[in-house]
Structures are given as C-alpha cells and as structure tokens.
Amino acid sequence: MTLSLDLSHRFQGFTLEAAFTAPPGVTALFGRSGSGKTTLVNAVAGLLRPDRLRLSVAGEVLADTTAGIWQPAHRRRIGYVFQDARLFPHLTVRQNLLYGRWFAPKSPEAAQDFDRIVALLGIGGLLQRRPGALSGGERQRVALGRAILSQPRILLMDEPLAALDEARKAEILPYLEQLRDELGLPILYVSHSMAEVARLATTVVLLEAGRVTAAGPVAVMLAQPEHAQSLGLREAGAVLQGQIAAQEEDGLTRISTEAGPLWLPRVAGEPGRPLRLRILAQDVMLALQAPQGLSALNHFESVVEAVHLGDGPGAMVRLRAGDAAVLARITARSAKAMGLRPGLRLHAVLKAVSVAQENIGRGA
C-alpha cells in the first residue's frame, strides 16, 4: 500500500508545502522541531484541515480539498500513535486495546490478532491495569497495540519515543522493528532522531522549514554528504544491509555486507540472519595505505566519490566500498593534506558499528 500526498497550509506566518509518496515500509519524516512534521501527519489523520490537501492511500482518495472531498478522521482508518500515548484513563489496558475494534470492519481473525499483538508487544501482564498505573514505555506499547488493533490501512507515528528516556527507547525499538517486519503495514514515522530513522526507516523524507528538501531510500539518503548538515553532523552516517555469515570461535561474528566482511562482538542469530548496520561518519577514519599495526579490526577498501567541504573545519567524504556508500567525517585540513579527490583509492577504517535487526524477507 502506498500513500501519496500533496499539501499546502499557511499558519502563523509559516507556509507548509509538501508533496511526496510513501512506499510500503517505514517512511521517516525527518526534520527539526518546527519544520511542520506534526502538522503534516495531523492533516493525514484528518485532525487538521489544511488549506489544500490531496491525499490517497492505496489508490483511494481520502481527501482532495479542491474537489471538496474530505473524509473525517474516523472514516479514514489511519492509525495514529501519539507522542503522549493518549490512552483512555477510564478504561483498562484491555479495553483500550479493544477500543478500535468496535468500529473496525469485522474480521474472523480478530481474536487471534489480539493475542498475537499482545504477545508481540509483551503487554500480556498489563491487560487488567489502568493507564494511570503504567510506566511511560508500557503506555507507549499499549498505544501502539491499540492503533494496530483498529486495523488501520497505514500507521502514523508522531515521535512515539521522544517522551521516553534512553532505556525506554531501547526497550521499544525492537518492537517497532518487529512490527515493521511482521505486519507489512506502511508506517509514516515522524522523528528528529537520526538514530531512530537509521534503525527503522526504509524511506526518508527530509522536511526543512515547511518544505520537502529531499526524499529517497534510507541508504541513499543517509550517504549524501550534502544532507549531512540537515540530518545533523554528529548523526550523519551510512546504513548498510548485511547478514550474519558465521559465528567464530573467539566470540566474534562475521557479517557479510555489500561493502565487504565485518567482524563484530557476538551478534545473536543464525548465519543468514539479515541485519541493518549503521556506520556513523565520525566513526570512520581514512588511510591512504592498507592499515598495519592498527587495533581496528574492520576496514574497507574504497574509492572516494565526493568530498564535501562545509563552512567549518570539517569535511564530509562519500566513499564507495563494494556496492555500498559510506560516509566519513574528517577535518578539512586532513582532506587537503591527503589530497582527497574523486576517484582516489583508499582504506576506510571503522571505529564503531551499530547493529539493528532487519528482516528484508518480509519487510520493505
């Protein structure tokens, strides 16, 4: 299922003009606060009526203000997970989860779905409680379940993790990955955290001051040096697809990627398990010769594709390693001293790699 949207809206001296298509998978709407992300998803959900909106999901037109079409929120069947959970305080967790089912089309698998989602989100022990007695992370998982069980055609998530501390985020992210991979539900995910986007997204839409400045598959988008500024320099980095190749005797896991093999401290899983790897630009060092006598285990032979000098002392370098793009953030001085130019062959040394689950088979 695909969502496509074309919207313009003026409010408080700010103009939001956005048009994009979200293919199946997770489409991350990325931008700073105030860039219009929440306004955009509220318009998609039908909670806000913009000056002009054309919205269709899987070919069905849900809104076309120029043609006078406006489906109200409750008829759109678009699930919404809010930043602040918004559970109904007077209902138990079970009643909250079942709330949407009253209004959803009747389906014979409903009872099974309930058990499956409850198990998937690990909220079986909370069913009799009321939202007031839940922790922030638990609340957000229940809100997620509630939205999914209303059988939406697509799911909107407006910074669902922003109100949580790091530990709670880490608790929920795996559930989001599983949802993405197991339900095949298109998700529009609003975030200003690059870490979340790199981990979850299949497509990235970059929103700046009310305008879409770039959109594309996550691996391509995150490997563009020119986007580094808007994505945040510290968070800039490439995303690679890989899979577990072997568990080695000294506790390391060999992972094959499009860029070449990598060794990481044990990553659980059978050989063949797909993974998503994120390599931050600031964790990549460049060497003109093959590194010797260096403790770093992982390095790729690569070719410089582009050198992007900013205004500051830094430089962003895009490399091609095998079939993958990798970003490196170095100083402009080093770039000059090393004579970096497109076409130059060198070695990219990785200081750190983070790993997330990725089930390409059923996702995307």
Partner 1 sequence: MTLSLRVSAVATVVSLPLGIAVALALARGRFPGRQLLNGLVHLPLILPPVVTGYLLLLTFGRKGWVGQWLDQWFGLVFAFRWTGAALAAAIMAFPLMVRAIRLAIEAVDPKLEQAAATLGAGRFMVFLTVTLPLILPGILAGTILAFAKAMGEFGATITFVSNIPGQTQTLPSAIYAYMQVPGGDAQAARLVLVAIVIAMAALLLSEWISRAVARRIAGT
Binding site for partner 1 (CB under 8 A): 45-47, 72-80, 82, 84, 86, 88-90, 99-100, 102-104, 129-134, 146-147, 150
**List of long-range contacts for 195-199, beta carbons under 8 Å, 24+ apart:** 195/235, 195/278, 196/28, 196/161, 196/169, 197/28, 197/30, 197/222, 198/222, 198/235, 198/237, 198/239, 198/276, 198/278, 198/356, 199/173, 199/276, 199/278, 199/356
Query: Of 82 and 175, which has the nearer Cβ to partner 1?
Result: 82
Query: Of 90 and 351, which has the nearer Cβ to partner 1?
Result: 90
Query: Of 78 and 201, which has the nearer Cβ to partner 1?
Result: 78
Task: Tell which phi-psi region holds residue 209, choosing left (phi > 0), alpha (psi between -120 and 50) or beta.
Answer: left
DSSP symbols for 286-336: EESSPP-S-S--EEEEEEEEEEEE-SSSEEEEEEEETTEEEEEEEEHHHHH
Cα–Cα distance measured from residue 204 to residue 215, given in angstroms and rounded to the nearest whole number: 6
Q: How far is the CB of 55 from partner 1 (least distance, A)?
A: 14
Q: How far is the CB of 58 from partner 1 (least distance, A)?
A: 17
Q: How far is the CB of 101 from partner 1 (least distance, A)?
A: 9
Q: How far is the CB of 210 from partner 1 (least distance, A)?
A: 22
Query: Of 47 and 214, which has the nearer Cβ to partner 1?
Result: 47
Query: Of 147 and 304, which has the nearer Cβ to partner 1?
Result: 147
Three-state secondary-structure class, residue 6: strand
Query: Of 127 and 356, which has the nearer Cβ to partner 1?
Result: 127
28 strand-pairing partners: 189, 204
Q: How far is the CB of 73 from partner 1 (least distance, A)?
A: 4
Q: How far is the CB of 91 from partner 1 (least distance, A)?
A: 8
Tokens describing residue 165: 């501390």
Q: How far is the CB of 177 from partner 1 (least distance, A)?
A: 23
Per-residue CA distances from 191 to 9, 19, 38, 198 (Å): 20, 18, 10, 11
Query: Of 88 and 170, which has the nearer Cβ to partner 1?
Result: 88
Q: How far is the CB of 132 from partner 1 (least distance, A)?
A: 4
Which residue, among 157, 127, 163, 159, has the nearest Cα to 144 in the 3D structure?
Answer: 157
Tokens describing residue 243: 């899979």
Residue linked to tokens 């992982």: 298
Query: Of 85 and 198, which has the nearer Cβ to partner 1?
Result: 85
Pairing of strands 237-247, 26-30: unpaired
